[in-house]
Structure 1
Amino acid sequence: MLITRYTQATAVLEDSGVVPPPVPQDAEPGTLAWLRARVSRFASGPVHAERRRAVVELLASFDPAELRVRARALAGVPADEVAARSFGVDQVAAVSAAASGYLSGETSPEADAAVRELLPLGIPMITVLLQAHASTAALIANARAHDDGVTPIEDLLHETLRHDPPLKRTRRVGVEIDLVAANRDPDVFPDPDRFDPSRGRTPHLTFGHGVRPCPAAAHALAIAAGYLEGNRS
């Protein structure tokens, strides 16, 4: 079932009984498929809670304000490298290769080799890196497409997250949520198709909602803001 309305989407995301599609549990150790069976994103119930707790504890060791400063200094590097480098990780090629099939489950020898290279970082750190890789780069690209050089960057980013979310859809068993449509539901967002940074913070669903919100929302915003600031100067 495809969900496009905001209230339906929030109801699904608030229901702890609606879980992500399961992933195979018997993959060869050290491969991308093996990793996907061990991260919080594709887990449910107590297993998800424990894995999420480990990610949250890791993120607590990174100050978003410091990440913003680091990202500002990375203005000259490609946007798809900024998240990893802001977290102090230099294996950007491995992050990119492993992230290529992280959400879809499409594996390759290159992705498997990348996972093995990243394993010394620990699964919580790999979780953060792979989930941040494409989404942060897409957020930056989408924001730059609307950047007039004078709009406050926080306002620019919040409206970009609503209007042009980097992740277009999210899936649960039997359900697919169209985040673009839900974030433009006219019952919640007046004149929803107009890009309007003056809206400020809005209750968009781009960072999730309910029982599985993104644990790194503040970190992602800080990295994107710092990078955009650096490229404006």
Structure 2
Amino acid sequence: MTTISTFGADRAAALLAHPDLVPPPAEAGASDGLAWLRANVARFASDERHERYRGQVEELLGRMEPERLRMRAAELARQVVYGGEVVEGAPGGVDVMAAIAREVPVRVLAEALGIGQVAGSGGSTGDERPASAECADGVGSAKGMEGVEGVEVAAVRAVAAGYLTGEATEERDAAVESLVAACGGAHDEVTAAKIGLLVQACEATAALIGNTLAAMLRDSARSAEIAVAAELRSNPPVRATVRLAASAIEVQPPLGAGNRFQAKVPSDIGLSPSGSAEGSALALPLAGRADERSVAGGVLLAPGDLVRISLSDGPHTLPFGAGPHACPGRDQAIAIAIGVCEALRHTRLLTTPIEYEPLPNLRIPTRLEVTS
């Protein structure tokens, strides 16, 4: 039995900064595939390894100019909707979530990382659904983006599907290897950092784009910059994250106190892209018996306990996390989201009502069709 505790966003900053609350680690030793990637990125590392891996990511991001990312994201989004030119009344509807929201961030970042030109995800890697969908008469297909061949966005999505859980499949391992090849073929830390950036940006940035655009098209008076900032304050896409207690820790409870319960969780637990454990109690409503290890004035965590930390709770929001594992690509993600939403500002929303993926910790529209 593993104890799972949950705390509100009012305590998130302190908990995420605690040196003994760490991300569930990835198993080391693999020489390729998904296991190799997870073992060589900052997301799952701690201490000196985390500092080294994160330093490599920050160096890569430091070479990017957010304004250039914004402009390129806007250009690619326009290519999908308008066929490369902004033409009033252009035909066809476009599902932004399938053809733009995931495609554009991966393409823009891959180009900025120097990985090479990027191919669309019209094909599938096997157990993953395609990231793009062709629209009527070819309008809105990701194939409408010009000058982008090489890395497959579908491969990035395939890796993202198993990135946090660690659940490897032949298709996901093959996807990692295709991305390694696109980065030059070396299984080194810099290659892992580049792939990790693409994978971690995929779903979260898509959610930010989808949520912001839906809000913008209902209130066209708002600029893209204002709309993105408003969504990050009131409706951040990533709702929670999980940490593992590396030692015995006494945590002072937040207002309303943290919830605790006992649940059967595998010792090699992995987390889904939404931040929850697939098939585990983390994805269920919090319920269960009182914990016997509560102490006066706080909660006692034992080594190996899991802590679910809300990033969005009333007036408290941390859309990019906090502490040593805070998202290092904040400025880049915001720039890309602004670029896409800016390019689509004058489109018309066709999808009503908007439905969302059934994910506990990621708010992302299932479909968001627009027309010019």
Instruction: State the TM-score, normalized to the length of structure 2.
Output: 0.55
Equivalent pairs counted in the alignment come to 212
Q: After superposition, what is the alpha-carbon deviation per residue over 1:72-129, rounded to whole angstroms, capped at 9, x for unaligned?
A: 0111242111111112251211111111111222222111111001114211111110
| Separation in 2, partners of 1:139, 1:50 | 29
Matched residue type, 2:230:
E
Native 8 Å contact 1:71 1:226 kept in 2: yes
| Separation in 2, partners of 1:211, 1:112 | 28
In the alignment, what sits opposite 1:97? 158
In the alignment, what sits opposite 2:108? 86
Match of 1:130 among 199, 215, 239: 199
| Separation in 2, partners of 1:42, 1:5 | 22
* RMSD (Å), alpha carbons: 1.5
Instruction: Quote how far apart the aligned CAs of 1:24 are.
Output: 1.5
| Separation in 1, partners of 2:156, 2:226 | 29
Where does the alignment leave 5 or more consecutive residues of structure 2 unmatched? 81-98, 112-116, 119-150, 184-190, 245-305, 347-372
Matched residue type, 1:18:
L
In the alignment, what sits opposite 2:220? 149
1:226 is the counterpart of 2:369: no
**Aligned-pair identity (%):** 42
Matched residue type, 2:161:
S
Match of 1:170 among 230, 241, 248: 241
Equivalent runs, 1:1-233 vs 2, <5 Å: 1-6=5-10, 8-27=11-30, 29-75=31-77, 76=80, 77-87=99-109, 88=111, 89-90=117-118, 91=151, 92-120=153-181, 121=183, 122-147=191-216, 148-173=219-244, 174-181=306-313, 184-185=314-315, 204-233=317-346
| Separation in 2, partners of 1:110, 1:149 | 42
Alpha-carbon distance change, 47 to 214 in structure 1, aligned in 2, over 3 angstroms: same
Q: Secondary structure at the match of 2:60?
A: helix
Structure index of larger Rg: 2
Matched residue type, 1:53:
G
In the alignment, what sits opposite 1:191? none
Instruction: Quote how far apart the aligned CAs of 1:57 are.
Output: 0.3
Q: Secondary structure at the match of 1:218?
A: helix
Matched residue type, 2:340:
Y
| Separation in 2, partners of 1:139, 1:73 | 18
Instruction: State the TM-score, normalized to the length of structure 1.
Output: 0.86
Q: Which structure shows the higher helix fraction?
A: 1
Q: Secondary structure at the match of 2:44?
A: coil
Native 8 Å contact 1:15 1:211 kept in 2: no
| Separation in 2, partners of 1:5, 1:97 | 30
Q: Which structure shows the higher strand fraction?
A: 2
Matched residue type, 1:127:
G
Native 8 Å contact 2:17 2:324 kept in 1: yes
Where does the alignment leave 5 or more consecutive residues of structure 1 unmatched? 189-203
